[in-house]
Amino acid sequence: MSEEFHPPASATLHPDRLLPADPATRAIARRLLAAVRALPIISPHGHTDARWFATDEPFRDPASLLITPDHYLTRMLYSQGVALEALGVQPAGEQGPPPDPRSIWHTFAAHYHLFRGTPSRVWLDWVLTEVFGTDTPLTAANAERTYRHISEQLATPAFRPRALFDRFGIEVLATTESPLDSLAHHAAIRASGWPGRVITAYRPDPLVDPQTPGFVHNLARFAEITDTDTFTWRGYLTAHRARRADFVTAGATSTDHGHPSARTADLDPHAAEALFERVVHGARSGTLSSVEAETFRAQMLTEMARMSLDDGLVLQIHPGACRDHNTPLARRLGANIGADIPTPTQYVEALRPLLTRFGNEPTLTLIVFTLDESTYSRELAPLAGHYPALKLGPAWWFHDSPEGLMRFREQTTETAGFYNTVGFNDDTRAFLSIPARHDAARRVDCAFLARLVAEHRLPEGEAVQVACDLAYHLPKRAYRL
Amino acid sequence: MSEEFHPPASATLHPDRLLPADPATRAIARRLLAAVRALPIISPHGHTDARWFATDEPFRDPASLLITPDHYLTRMLYSQGVALEALGVQPAGEQGPPPDPRSIWHTFAAHYHLFRGTPSRVWLDWVLTEVFGTDTPLTAANAERTYRHISEQLATPAFRPRALFDRFGIEVLATTESPLDSLAHHAAIRASGWPGRVITAYRPDPLVDPQTPGFVHNLARFAEITDTDTFTWRGYLTAHRARRADFVTAGATSTDHGHPSARTADLDPHAAEALFERVVHGARSGTLSSVEAETFRAQMLTEMARMSLDDGLVLQIHPGACRDHNTPLARRLGANIGADIPTPTQYVEALRPLLTRFGNEPTLTLIVFTLDESTYSRELAPLAGHYPALKLGPAWWFHDSPEGLMRFREQTTETAGFYNTVGFNDDTRAFLSIPARHDAARRVDCAFLARLVAEHRLPEGEAVQVACDLAYHLPKRAYRL
Amino acid sequence: MSEEFHPPASATLHPDRLLPADPATRAIARRLLAAVRALPIISPHGHTDARWFATDEPFRDPASLLITPDHYLTRMLYSQGVALEALGVQPAGEQGPPPDPRSIWHTFAAHYHLFRGTPSRVWLDWVLTEVFGTDTPLTAANAERTYRHISEQLATPAFRPRALFDRFGIEVLATTESPLDSLAHHAAIRASGWPGRVITAYRPDPLVDPQTPGFVHNLARFAEITDTDTFTWRGYLTAHRARRADFVTAGATSTDHGHPSARTADLDPHAAEALFERVVHGARSGTLSSVEAETFRAQMLTEMARMSLDDGLVLQIHPGACRDHNTPLARRLGANIGADIPTPTQYVEALRPLLTRFGNEPTLTLIVFTLDESTYSRELAPLAGHYPALKLGPAWWFHDSPEGLMRFREQTTETAGFYNTVGFNDDTRAFLSIPARHDAARRVDCAFLARLVAEHRLPEGEAVQVACDLAYHLPKRAYRL
């Protein structure tokens, strides 16, 4: 039946999508976009699966590729009464029969209207149109036809991970791994002869956050992997240093830290050692206090910055999410099922200990993100507009959307400038959406710049240069790629 | 002299008011507006006086109808040095001669320029033009003529409450009453044979907030009305259940809760009972602590949600106002004279106990409002974009203005979508402004949607559907009307 | 070589800069701007050096005039790795050879691209073009030519402080002095016969903030200057009253208070006296607690308001900056080198004691500023839209930029109106940027008003009146000039 599928003439995206409506401003934005739309994609921070590129196996089906793992999608349907199980989210530990991907697809298609006005709609329309050439919008009526068409294409060589990587024009793609990960997939990629640059990033949260389930067990595994006594402070730090070196070998240029807050600490070595001992003991005995855990995470950011001065890894802080807010759901389905909620986050006092210690270091790069947009103009832009080590990560997670990206530029540029920002992060596990997200981010930046030009705040020639810097040069430089 | 009044040709509102200036976007917005402007008004939450519709007596005069009870107006003049008494606000308990409405009107007219750029100006221009056909803007020069013209019209049958209700195209109008209210006016409306649908809403704050003056007295009256021992926890809850049932009979489909914060609690039954006993004792003896009062209010939101699972009432939370901030003025003129000030409000931890208990219930509808716009993108949209029970109330009070309504859409849509919102609430005691407010809200939504269409983020056909949903279908569905 | 300098035809600013791109809206904005652009400049709050106008000596060189003292510029270059010393910032107490201004200029020019999209770029382009007639943008290539050209002009009479003051159309310019300042420069200006109106403002922070280094020493100097025992509460207050009277004589119409928070207190006289004694003792003995210091600052705002009721000085509160966040830098280079960072600031409870005491006084004017934009719509506009004494200062410091000024209007106007705001403050020590800043602020206000007109929310005739009020009449009236 697939040969009968004829994408209608309407299955194209409007070339001016996301550009301002005013004709003069749009004309400028089009010219800026022409300068950046074909630039290679730098994806310095994300969560795709290195296995895809190691094995290059075909993606299994449209639902497990596009829907089930995408929290943006499943949370919206859940909020409107659709059970997560009906979207393929499996109860924790359960090994039931795999859910039927066709049924998931149909359920999703019937709720596509929920995404009107959301970035998911922008990205999905791009994927459906540009990658698969199907009708958009997805509807209950075209769901079956679309499902078959995508399924058939996924079975072809052109839709395997490496082929898509090349087709998408990705120059470098970073995944994120725990120090406990073997990095075997990255080794396999390098050994394969395929020239695609897929690198890792060092995400030590399971070893740095004593409130992680299994923290003590993780320390023990860390000891095995590094052949070090990770239950002493000195050994623990040594193990991090060793493992960071392994990650550098696997291409890493950055570390990443997803803490509940942005708090940092700069204890003297004895106090830090005593805290570590207390943390280990407390985690073992179940007597760890929240304050101890928070202080340890805070201290570890400073320790990581200290190591970065030696090994050159860029340090990223992604704070401010309340993880697994929906306790009953977490109990039934496990962690990370789309119930994380941003919280008010403060940076001025939180970052001060780390910045006092290392903020003036010209060779350190510390990239800070936020889920609390009220900090853009109040705290983050002023901090980044002063400290040499500090750069602003782009609009993140709930805010990496057309409106969110625009607010980021509107609220940070006047104080931090463009050159204390680091371009775009797609930060996604939805591989196929990566070019869609970069496309959207480039369009929003061009829209912002076009307004500056139209309002005679920036000559167009300079705007072109900024657009290219934001799309390509700044992320390369900031992430040392 | 009234027959000599000839509204000038300019006494019309511009048909494109509040629509975006860009011609292409405005053309789209016009088409969207054409689809929604004549839809009936759903007013599911407000503060008009049921007596108006029960007695259908003529409104007394322009000042007592349009100025004295409208805090938006009196607070602005007060901020510029006009005494509230000069606007008809009477000292608490004082029974002096009624203020002269003509003098109030003239004072107001002389200060009409203060409202430039405010929503009051938008609403008042609508009322003066569309309801009364007078000149706008109101000025000192035309004040006398306008006053007479309005006065004369108010004396005619076409300007009685029921006639205006019909003329305004109101399909349903909710008022708000305390459980201590007799609901006699609502009974009279139903008995009158007039088909206008005026319903009540259950607002138990005087019985739920132990810091309300007269709390113990209120409990005693609650006991009388329900013939229940409201001084025991069990009896108190039973009385609420009984009174909610009475309200349902009077058409109620919702409850409403105006707490200082959004805090909720989920105590075990014994702890809740002990807290209630402590609250009653503390209120009687003047020894109630702020923490006890806050915890009791918090617990009662969860109790109300539990009752909603049985009787189907939609639960509304309107938190975050510091009531009667101006102590000297409150002492002189009483509560509720326009000196309430929004405060920073947190939702993520505050709502967690209630959401953990009932947030996954598909049959519960919990509508949350805010006066703290920084929570739109950070907390409220992410919560509503996840929990099945949670919906976002529209921009509220200080923010139900053209800019405020637009910020609400810009900052909530990308994460919560349109379908986790519930359309517009006018939330007003200013009856004549109701159609003005719905008109403005529809125009702002059409303006927002038109931009999405103009930027090729949403096809126009879908935007029409969303516009109709926001104006009519979503409030009907969310409030179960 | 200077005569060879020919500013290119392009060395003009676009007449429509900062106006909206939409043609219809821009046409309106142009008409509004035509009504205000030539109005005299009212500069009621700033930090220029009275000595300039007292001595009327030529400015020394381009770097020490335009770069070294401007934190907006030096912080941006510092954030990108340029040492502050290379920009002429001298280590604290060091008396080394003066840095070479030509070298500073070249360093700055080579980094001019960092200011793309910032207000500094807008202001500097104005200064370079309108004041000096040089090429813009500044580049490494034209740096030498530009430096010479500016240097030569600075040596001419037309570029002396008083000549520029007159050329800029400044009607009144306020500087800010400590009570410990002799006001000799202001006396010299008045004695000089030059008619330029340069007035002072009373900034008692060094005597009001017990955490100021040298606080006890300052009290002792205060005693000498006022011949009063400033170590008693009564004498301390008397000294303030006396010194305020001196400032009034030197033209002052306002006081100014730069506190870490907006907290106010209203202690009874005995408690206030006891607190003062404790503060003096604590400051002497190094045992002052943060709470004591904060409470004392809080109380002093209320004391200052009380004095304002007598002497008519307008009271300004500029809260919410974390001063000298970068401790190592402050240690090396001293205070005030561009490392101040805004912090979350609360107003509702903080201002309550002062407002309860004096907020209803019609003769008091209290102008409040913020660095926390989340308070515009949540706290400040509602407070200013109610209290007769309270007015909103304009967008401040990090936010007195095109986007920041626009957000201020968008987020305050609907609740506070235009007439509870006080026009623009340039708040700068960069004298030459004053007309640039007023020009930008007028354009942004016209842009905002033009949108209201284009969206049929305000008739154009009224918008013209508002534009003139914002640019000229409101600051004159609010600051009693």
Does B423 map to a domain? yes
pLDDT at A90 (0 to 100):
87
Please list every residue in chain A whose beta carbon sits closer than 8 Å to the beta carbon of residue C437: none
C18, A390: Cβ pair inside 8 Å? no
CATH code at position C95 = 1.10.2020.10
Q: Please write the tens of the pLDDT for every residue from A284-334.
A: 999 999 999 999 999 999 999 999 999 999 999 999 999 999 999 999 999
A371, B386: Cβ pair inside 8 Å? no
Residue A474: both structure tokens together? 């700044």
Give A1's pLDDT tier (boundaries 50, 70, 90). Answer: very low
Q: Is A399 on the interface with B (CB under 8 A)?
A: yes
Q: Is A58 on the interface with B (CB under 8 A)?
A: no
**Nearest-angstrom CA–CA distance, C134 and C131:** 8
pLDDT along chain C (481 residues), means of 10: 38 92 98 98 97 98 96 97 94 75 97 98 97 90 96 98 98 98 97 97 98 96 98 98 97 97 98 98 96 98 98 98 96 92 98 98 97 98 98 98 98 98 96 98 98 97 98 98 96
Same domain membership, residue A66 and residue A48: no
Q: Which residues contact B9 (CB under 8 A, 6 or more apart)?
A: none
Q: What is the DSSP letter of A80?
A: T
Q: Please write the tens of the pLDDT for every residue from A402-414.
A: 999 999 999 999 9
Same domain membership, residue C283 and residue C148: no
**Facing C373 at nearest CB: one of A352, A377, A383:** A377
Could you tell me the CA-to-CA distances from B167 to B163, B188, B432 in Å, in that order? Answer: 6, 21, 11
For chain A, the farthest-separated pair of C-alpha atoms sits apart, in whole angstroms, at: 72
Q: What is the DSSP letter of A314?
A: E
B456, A399: Cβ pair inside 8 Å? no
Average pLDDT over residues B153-164: 98
How many beta-carbon contacts under 8 Å exist across A and C?
129
Per residue in B61-98, is it b (16+ CB within 10 Å) or e — as a string?
bbbebbbbbbbbbbbbbbbeebebebbbbbeeeeeeee
Same domain membership, residue A209 and residue A75: no
Same domain membership, residue C422 and residue C306: yes
Residue A144, burial from CB neighbour count under 10 angstroms (0-12, 13-18, 19+)? middle
Q: Is A387 on the interface with C (CB under 8 A)?
A: yes
Substitution target from C16, C79, C120 for chain A, most A beta carbons within 10 A: C79
Q: Which residues contact B50 (CB under 8 A, 6 or more apart)?
A: B175, B177, B185, B186, B189, B198, B200
A458, C117: Cβ pair inside 8 Å? yes
Of C257, C255, C260, C339, nearest in space to C294 by CA: C260
Same domain membership, residue A309 and residue A370: yes
Interface of C with B in 25-54 (CB under 8 A): 25
B341, C386: Cβ pair inside 8 Å? yes
A20, B455: Cβ pair inside 8 Å? yes
CA distance C354 to chain B (A): 11
CA angle (A182, A186, A192) in 5-degree steps: 130
Does B415 map to a domain? yes
Does B398 map to a domain? yes
Q: Please write the tens of the pLDDT for every residue from A122-149.
A: 999 999 999 999 977 899 999 999 999 9
Write out the residue range of the structural domain in which residue C336 sits.
9-56+161-478
Please list every residue in chain C whose beta carbon sits closer than 8 Å to the beta carbon of residue B343: 348-349, 378-379
Q: What is the ipTM of this complex?
A: 0.96
Average pLDDT over residues B369-375: 98
CA distance A468 to chain C (A): 14
Interface of A with B in 106-135 (CB under 8 A): 113-119, 121-122
C385, B76: Cβ pair inside 8 Å? yes
Q: Is A336 on the interface with B (CB under 8 A)?
A: no
Chains that touch B (3 or more CB pairs under 8 A): A, C
Domain boundary (A136, A159, A182) is at: A159
B398, C418: Cβ pair inside 8 Å? no
Same domain membership, residue C267 and residue C245: yes
Same domain membership, residue B229 and residue B80: no
pLDDT at B2 (0 to 100):
33
Residue C8: both structure tokens together? 């290119």
Please list every residue in chain B whose beta carbon sits closer than 8 Å to the beta carbon of residue A11: none
Could you tell me the CA-to-CA distances from A473 to A465, A477, B83, C445 in Å, in that order? Answer: 10, 6, 61, 36
- Helix %, strand %, coil % of chain A (to 5): 55, 5, 40
Give yes or no for residue A363 having a pLDDT over 50.
yes
Q: Please write the tens of the pLDDT for every residue from B223-267.
A: 999 999 999 999 999 999 999 999 999 999 999 999 999 999 999
pLDDT at C2 (0 to 100):
33
Q: Is A75 on the interface with B (CB under 8 A)?
A: yes
Does B2 map to a domain? no
How many helices (H) does chain A have, and how many strands (E)? Answer: 22, 9
Does A333 map to a domain? yes
Same domain membership, residue B219 and residue B115: no
Does C1 map to a domain? no
Q: What is the DSSP letter of C202?
A: B
CA distance B401 to chain C (A): 7
The helix/strand/coil state of C187 is helix
Domain boundary (A131, A159, A187) is at: A159
Domain boundary (A137, A159, A181) is at: A159
Domain count for chain A, please give it. Answer: 2
Substitution target from B419, B453, B464 for chain A, most A beta carbons within 10 A: B419
Q: Is B352 on the interface with A (CB under 8 A)?
A: yes
**Closest residue of chain C to A386, computed from CA coordinates:** C79
Task: Report yes or no: C39 and C471 within 8 Å, Cβ to Cβ.
Answer: yes
Residue C133 neighbours by CB distance under 10 Å: 15
pLDDT at C449 (0 to 100):
98
Angle formed by the axes of helices C23-36 and C460-468, to 10°?
40
Of A238, A211, A245, A198, nearest in space to A222 by CA: A238
Same domain membership, residue A46 and residue A133: no
C348, B342: Cβ pair inside 8 Å? yes
**Nearest-angstrom CA–CA distance, C41 and B446:** 41
Q: Please write the tens of the pLDDT for every residue from C142-182.
A: 999 999 999 999 999 999 999 999 999 999 999 999 999 99
Residue B393 neighbours by CB distance under 10 Å: 25
The whole-angstrom distance between residue C392's C-alpha and the CA centroid of its chain comes to 14
CATH code at position C404 = 3.20.20.140
Backbone angles phi, psi at A363, to 5 degrees: -95, -5
Task: Report yes or no: B374 and C378 within 8 Å, Cβ to Cβ.
Answer: yes
Q: Which residues contact A403 (CB under 8 A, 6 or more apart)?
A: B410, B411, B413, B414
Residue A3 neighbours by CB distance under 10 Å: 6
Task: Report yes or no: C383 and C359 within 8 Å, Cβ to Cβ.
Answer: no
**Nearest-angstrom CA–CA distance, B448 and B446:** 5
Same domain membership, residue A19 and residue A136: no
Give yes or no for residue A15 having a pLDDT over 50.
yes
Please state, for a pLDDT cut of 90, what percent of chain A lies above it: 94
Chains that touch A (3 or more CB pairs under 8 A): B, C
Same domain membership, residue C262 and residue C306: yes
Give yes or no for residue A160 having a pLDDT over 70.
yes
**Nearest-angstrom CA–CA distance, C451 and B17:** 11
pLDDT at B99 (0 to 100):
83
Residue C435: both structure tokens together? 């007309």
Does B260 map to a domain? yes
CA distance C118 to chain A (A): 4
Task: Report yes or no: A36 and A467 within 8 Å, Cβ to Cβ.
Answer: yes
Same domain membership, residue B49 and residue B114: no
Given the DSSP bridges, would you call strands A341-342 and A321-322 parallel, antiparallel or unpaired? antiparallel
Q: Please write the tens of the pLDDT for every residue from B334-354.
A: 988 899 999 999 999 999 999
Q: Is C374 on the interface with B (CB under 8 A)?
A: yes
Q: Is B475 on the interface with C (CB under 8 A)?
A: no
CA angle (C247, C250, C255) in 5-degree steps: 40
Backbone angles phi, psi at B392, to 5 degrees: -95, 120
pLDDT at B12 (0 to 100):
82
Task: Report yes or no: A397 and B378 within 8 Å, Cβ to Cβ.
Answer: no
Please list every residue in chain A whose beta carbon sits closer than 8 Å to the beta carbon of residue B416: 79
Does C2 map to a domain? no
pLDDT at A3 (0 to 100):
35
pTM greater than 0.95 (yes/no): yes
C398, A381: Cβ pair inside 8 Å? yes
Q: Is C363 on the interface with B (CB under 8 A)?
A: no
